[in-house]
Amino acid sequence: MDIDLADLRAHPSSDVFEEVLAEVADDVRELVGVGEVADYIPALARVPADRFGMAVADLHGDLHTVGEADRPFSIQSISKVFSLILATQRFEGDLWDRVGREPSGDPFNSLVQLEHECGVPRNPFINAGAIVIADVLSSCLADPLGELVALVSELAGAEIPIDGEVARSEASTGYRNRSLANLMKAFGNIQGEPDDVLDIYFAQCALTMSARQLATALRFLANDGVDPASGHRVLDVEKARRINALMLTCGTYDAAGEFAFRVGIPCKSGVGGGIVGVIPHHLTACAWSPALDRTGNSVAGRAAIEQLVERTGLSVF
């Protein structure tokens, strides 16, 4: 179809999104199932690879979907956005003494920089950084996991469950994450007991949400920190901008440069196959397809977000 881009930019809730999404699903059809599902977490290895769903939340509070947008999946590293939001809201110390704001250029579970950089992770979106954020949350909240689930549920407008089987499955095989937590403990950058902090981290990664719920929960990032449906301010504008900046530079691990180059919007991915993308002042999108590339990003999910940007002409640049 011919899309009137000027109209779409002027009226982001236009029905055009329905048609754009149908075309995007068509564009990526041949990529669905290309890649490998994450099998280093045994419970995730059973997820069928040939799934695809996508949702777009616009700034009028409307949702547009295609495919399996209501099928829940393991959000994995996308949970790192929610834990950072909670820490930004509730921690009164300087978070940035404990975790950096630079892309790592290394895989999400890499240990190498931590030794050279004295246990301070490069950013909150690699595993080491998210484990520090889990420690920060345990130091300032009586029930960090309960508060995180409450925040995610409130933002998504639904009770969001933790899949206990996925959490236990990762806990039983999470040797790298244990190494990261113990190394940071040795450098004094973890205050709690590493195993207790990891229990929170594994549980947050096992939050289970649909593309529709993720696009809904993070739509405030496209609207200067305010949920466009309820008018509720989740974060002040500077903090919301900073989360978007971190998503752009660090949200897809060692593929962040490639994402910025090809997709050009803030994105956060997880090894469950989800990718959330934010186009400030326009929309938040979530694509899901479980088969991943070598960097742990969904092949069809990335292509779908890229096609959405291409077809709408919306961009941060």
Pick the binder of ligand GLN from 170, 227, 254, 306 (CB under 6 A).
170
Active site residue 80: yes
Q: Binding to ligand GLN (CB under 6 A): which residues in 243-272? A: 270-271
Q: Binding to ligand GLN (CB under 6 A): which residues in 93-152? A: 108-109, 127
Residue 76 C-beta: closest distance to ligand GLN, Å: 3
Q: Does 296 bind ligand GLN (CB under 6 A)?
A: yes
**Active-site residue (options: 66, 271, 276, 278):** 271
Helices (H), the chain: 5-10, 16-28, 79-90, 112-116, 127-140, 144-156, 164-173, 175-186, 194-205, 211-217, 237-250, 256-262, 299-312
Active site residue 253: yes
Residue 313 C-beta: closest distance to ligand GLN, Å: 30
Active site residue 271: yes
Q: How many chain residues bind ligand GLN (CB under 6 A)? A: 11
**Active-site residue (options: 24, 28, 80, 83):** 80
- Report d(CA 47, CA 56) in Å as an integer: 23
Q: Dihedral (C-alpha) 243, 247, 248, 249: value to the nearest 10 degrees?
A: 100
Q: Is the dihedral of CA 173, 178, 269, 162 positive or negative?
A: positive
**Active-site residue (options: 28, 99, 149, 253):** 253
Beta carbon nearer to ligand GLN, 139 or 295:
295
Beta carbon nearer to ligand GLN, 26 or 39:
39
Q: Does 177 bind ligand GLN (CB under 6 A)?
A: yes
Residue 4 C-beta: closest distance to ligand GLN, Å: 37
Residue whose C-alpha is closest to residue 197's, from 214, 215, 178:
178
Burial class of 78 by CB neighbour count within 10 A (0 to 12, 13 to 18, 19+): buried
Terminal-residue alpha carbon distance, the chain: 25
**Active-site residue (options: 14, 77, 104, 169):** 77
Q: Which positions lie near ligand GLN, rule CB under 6 A?
A: 76-77, 108-109, 127, 170, 177, 205, 270-271, 296
